[in-house]
Amino acid sequence: MNPRILAKSKINNFSSDRKQQKEYFNFWITSTYIALLSIIVWLLLYYVWILNVGATKWYDIRILEREKRNLLIEKELLDVKIAELESLWTILNDDNIKNMEKAENPNYLVIKENVQYVYND
């Protein structure tokens, strides 16, 4: 007889309760292992994604903070320039300045230490 025919014709249907319980136990161990491994991989990918999102947000925030700092410096410089122009305009347009006369031949007093001064006019 042909050995292939004999091998195919043999069907082993013997299955004890102990063997079924062991297979059932092994199935749950394998499925639990696969589930935990897939959860760990998913958490790792989620962690990397969160880090990437956070890093890009912080990079954008740093760029905006740098731009804000430059704009504040520019604003302060413009405020100083405005104050200078306003003060000069205020001085030149003051009514007391318009009523003053230019001094001719002014006398200047130079003060030195340990010297007594007497003004004779």
Domain segments of the chain: what residues? 16-99
Tens digit of each residue's pLDDT (9 = 90 or more) over 76-114:
999 998 888 888 777 777 777 777 888 888 887 777 788
Tell me the C-alpha distance between 77 and 13, whole Å: 93
* pTM summary value: 0.41
